[in-house]
Amino acid sequence: MTVSSLETLLPAGSILDEKYRTERVLGQGGMGIVVLAHHLGLDEKVAIKLLNPGALSSPGAETRFLQEARIAAKLRSPYAVRILDVGRDRERGLPYIVMEYLEGHNLGEPPAPMPISEAVDSIVETCAALAEAHRLGIVHRDIKPQNLFCMQNDSGDAQIKLLDFGISKSENSLSQTSTSHVLGTPSYMSPEQLRTTKSVDARSDIWSIGVTLHALLAGSPPWMGETSAVIAAKILRDAPPTLRDSLTGAPEPLERIILRCLEKDPSARYDDVGALAEQLAQFGGPRSQRAIGILRSRQSLAGDSRNARNSAEVPKPSSAGAFAPTELNLATPLPATAAPPVSTLPSAGTIVPAKTPLPDEATRTASAWGEASNPVAAAEPLALRAKWPVLAAVVAFAAIALYVVLRPPTPGVEPKLALAEAAPVVSPLSAVVLSASPSVSAAPTAAPADSGSRAKPVPSPAAPSKAAPDASAPSAAPSSAPSAVPTAKGSDPWNERL
C-alpha cells in the first residue's frame, strides 16, 4: 500500500483509536506519513506518524517503528522532539506515534546555503540533543538536514528539534537491522556504517554532523553521485573536499573542525559531540551559547547521578545470605603497573574518629567478609588493641607506688611518727637511748603533770663500781633495758616492734 492509499484509508476528519481526529498531511516518506491531528480529550494539536501498511511486510519494520517511540521518549532535551503517545489503531491495524506539533520547516528545504552563524547555531543545538542521546547509549544513525526541524520557541527565536529516531541504535538492546540491511541516507553515512550497521557508535553521528554542516554551508554534501553505490564508493575511497572550495572566505579553523569530523578513522574524530559543540560555538551566536549552557548543566547533573550510583554500589549477597568473597576477585593478582590498592582497614595504632568514614572500598571489603557494616565500628577493635600497652603501663606504675607506700619497715631504721603522736610524747625508745648515753645527766626525766596514760620516769642506771656490792642493798639496775622500761598504754605499734 502506497502513501496515497494511506491517505485514502485515513482521510481528513477520521477518528484514530477513538482519541485523535486527523486534519491534514504534514509530511510523507517511503515508510509512512505524518498528519496533523486534534487530541479530543486534551483539545490540543498533535502530530501523528503512521507506518505505511505496506511496510509491515518488511522484516522488523514495525519493531523499529515502535522502537523510535521508546527511544525518543527517554530524551528530555529541549532540542529533541517530545513523544506523547504510542499505539495501534484497532479498526485499521495501523501502528502510530503521537508527537508534539511543531510549526516551521526542516533544514533540507531551503535550497540556498545558510549563513555561517545560523548554520553553526543549528548544529550546536543538534549536538546538545545528541549528547543526551549518547549518554543514554543511543546512536541516531540518520543525522541529515531533513531531520533537523527549525521552529520558533516561546521567546520567538529559531530553535532546532531533532527528529526521526526510527533507525537509531540503542547499546542496551540488540539492533533490529541485519548486517546486510543498510538503513540511512548514503550521502551522510560514515564509512563504518556503510560497511556494517552493527558496529557503529557515537562517532558515526559525529561524521554525519560534519557532513550536515558542510551541506548547510556549501549547499550540498561533500560527496555526490548518481547512485547510492557511487556515493558509497567515494566516501570509502576519496578524501573530503575542503569547505573553502565551495564557500569562499570560510574561516580556516571552521574548515579544520569539519575535516576532523570527516576522518575515516573513527578514533581520529572528536571523542564526543560535547567537545565538538564547544569548538563550534565560537562561530555561532547567542543560540550557540544558550545550547552550550544547557549541555554543560545536563552533563554536570549526569555526572552527579553517576557518582551517586557508584558510591551506593555494594556487593550482592549470595543465596546463603552472606556476602560471597569471590565477588571481590581477591585471588586475581594486581598488574605490575597498577596503583597500590587502598588499605581496607587502618593499621594498628591508628585511632579512627567517630565521624570519619572509611573509603568505599574498605566498606565493601568489610561487608564481604561478614564484619560490621559500619566501617567505623569495624575499625574499633584495632583502636582498642592499640590502647592495651598504655593501660598496662598505668597499672604497673600504680602497683609499684602502692608497694612503696605499704611495704614493711626496714630493721634498724626509725620510722617517722605521726605529728599527733610525736609532739606531746617522749618516745620510750628515746628514753632508753638517752639513759644509756654517758654524756647525759643521771637526773631523772620529769614526767608531765598528767601521766595517767603516759610512761613513768625512768631512773638512771647505776654507774659501774669495782667494789663488791652490798648484799643487803637492792639491785641498782635491771639486767636489761627493755625490761626496765614499762610500755606506755596506747604506744606506737612501730616502737613495739623495735
Query: How many Å apart are CA 145 and CA 217, to the nearest integer?
Result: 11
Query: How many Å apart are CA 429 and CA 401, to the nearest integer?
Result: 30
Residues 93 and 110 placed together within one structural domain of the fold: no
Amino acid of residue 354: A
Choose between 93 and 41: higher pLDDT: 41
Among 44, 75, 100, the domain boundary falls at 100
Residues 80 and 109 placed together within one structural domain of the fold: no
Least confidently predicted of 157-161, 199-203, 441-445: 441-445
Whether 55 has a pLDDT exceeding 80, the answer reads no
What is the mean pLDDT of the segment spanning 370-377?
45
Record the cell numbers describing residue 34, joined without a space.
505524518
Note whether residue 24 is domain-resident.
yes
The β-bridge relationship of strands 138-139 and 95-100 is unpaired
Could you give the number of structural domains in the chain? 3
Query: How many Å apart are CA 160 and CA 212, to the nearest integer?
Result: 14
Query: How many Å apart are CA 37 and CA 26, to the nearest integer?
Result: 10
CATH number at residue 227: 1.10.510.10
How many beta carbons lie within 10 A of that of residue 343, not counting itself?
13
Among 33, 68, 100, the domain boundary falls at 100
| Bridge partners, 32 (sequence order) | 51
Measured CA angle at 290 (ends 289, 295), to 5 deg: 95
Residue-range definition of the domain harbouring residue 56: 3-100
Residues 188 and 324 placed together within one structural domain of the fold: no
What is the mean pLDDT of the segment spanning 106-135?
91
* Catalytic option among 89, 121, 142, 492: 142
Q: What pLDDT, on a 0 to 100 scale, did the predictor assign at position 296?
A: 92
Closest CA to 16 of 42, 40, 44: 40
Note whether residue 411 is domain-resident.
no
Residues 325 and 291 placed together within one structural domain of the fold: no
Under 8 Å between Cβ of 231 and 223: yes
Amino acid of residue 61: A
CATH number at residue 21: 3.30.200.20
Residues 177 and 267 placed together within one structural domain of the fold: yes
Query: How many Å apart are CA 312 and CA 324, to the nearest integer?
Result: 18
Residues 20 and 92 placed together within one structural domain of the fold: yes
Whether 128 has a pLDDT exceeding 70, the answer reads yes
Per-residue pLDDT band for 184 (boundaries 50, 70, 90) equals low
151 burial level (CB within 10 Å; 0-12, 13-18, 19+): middle
Q: What pLDDT, on a 0 to 100 scale, did the predictor assign at position 423?
A: 45
Note whether residue 409 is domain-resident.
no
Choose between 341 and 284: higher pLDDT: 284
Q: Write the secondary structure of the chain as one string of H (helix), E (strand) and C (coil).
A: CCHHHHHHHCCCCCEECCCEEEEEEEEECCCEEEEEEEECCCCEEEEEEEECHHHHHCCCHHHHHHHHHHHHHCCCCCCECCEEEEEECCCCCCEEEEEECCCEEECCCCCCCCCHHHHHHHHHHHHHHHHHHHHCCEECCCCCHHHEEEEECCCCCEEEEECCCCCCEECCCCCCCCCCCCCCCHHHCCHHHHHCCCCCCHHHHHHHHHHHHHHHHHCCCCCCCCCHHHHHHHHHHCCCCCHHHHCCCCCHHHHHHHHHHCCCCHHHCCCCHHHHHHHHHHHCCHHHHHHHHHHHHHHHHHHHHHHHHHHCCCCCECCCCCECHHHHCCCCCCCCCCCCCCCCCCCCCCCCCCCCCCCHHHHHHHHHCCCCCCHHHHHHHHHHHHHHHHHHHHHHHHHHHHHHHHCCCCCCCCCCCCHHHHCCCCCHHHHHHHHHCCCCCCCCCCCCCCCCCCCCCCCCCCCCCCCCCCCCCCCCCCCCHHHHCCCCCCCCHHHHHC
Q: What is the pLDDT of residues 196-253, one digit of tens each?
A: 877 789 999 999 999 999 999 999 999 999 999 999 999 999 999 999 998 988 999 9
Per-residue pLDDT band for 353 (boundaries 50, 70, 90) equals low
Residues 93 and 109 placed together within one structural domain of the fold: no
Query: How many Å apart are CA 3 and CA 9, to the nearest integer?
Result: 10
Note whether residue 73 is domain-resident.
yes
Q: What pLDDT, on a 0 to 100 scale, did the predictor assign at position 339?
A: 47
Choose between 289 and 408: higher pLDDT: 289
Residues 279 and 145 placed together within one structural domain of the fold: yes
Note whether residue 323 is domain-resident.
yes
Residue 450 CA neighbour count, 13 Å, CB half: 2
Note whether residue 443 is domain-resident.
no
Q: What is the pLDDT of residues 21-37, one digit of tens each?
A: 999 998 877 677 899 99
pLDDT cut 90: percent of the chain above it: 38
Residue that has been written with the C-alpha cell 557503529 in this structure:
200
Q: What pLDDT, on a 0 to 100 scale, did the predictor assign at position 465?
A: 44
Per-residue pLDDT band for 110 (boundaries 50, 70, 90) equals low
Record the cell numbers describing residue 468, joined without a space.
663488791
Amino acid of residue 207: W
Q: What pLDDT, on a 0 to 100 scale, did the predictor assign at position 382?
A: 52
Model's pTM, two decimal places?
Answer: 0.59
Closest CA to 48 of 80, 10, 4: 10
Note whether residue 476 is domain-resident.
no
Residues 131 and 195 placed together within one structural domain of the fold: yes
Among 100, 130, 147, the domain boundary falls at 100
Under 8 Å between Cβ of 142 and 101: no
Whether 261 has a pLDDT exceeding 80, the answer reads yes
pLDDT cut 70: percent of the chain above it: 59
What is the mean pLDDT of the segment spanning 421-437?
45
Judge whether 142 counts as a catalytic residue: yes
Residues 277 and 134 placed together within one structural domain of the fold: yes
Residues 95 and 109 placed together within one structural domain of the fold: no
Per-residue pLDDT band for 185 (boundaries 50, 70, 90) equals confident
Whether 428 has a pLDDT exceeding 60, the answer reads no
Residues 170 and 193 placed together within one structural domain of the fold: yes
Choose between 145 and 421: higher pLDDT: 145
Note whether residue 398 is domain-resident.
yes
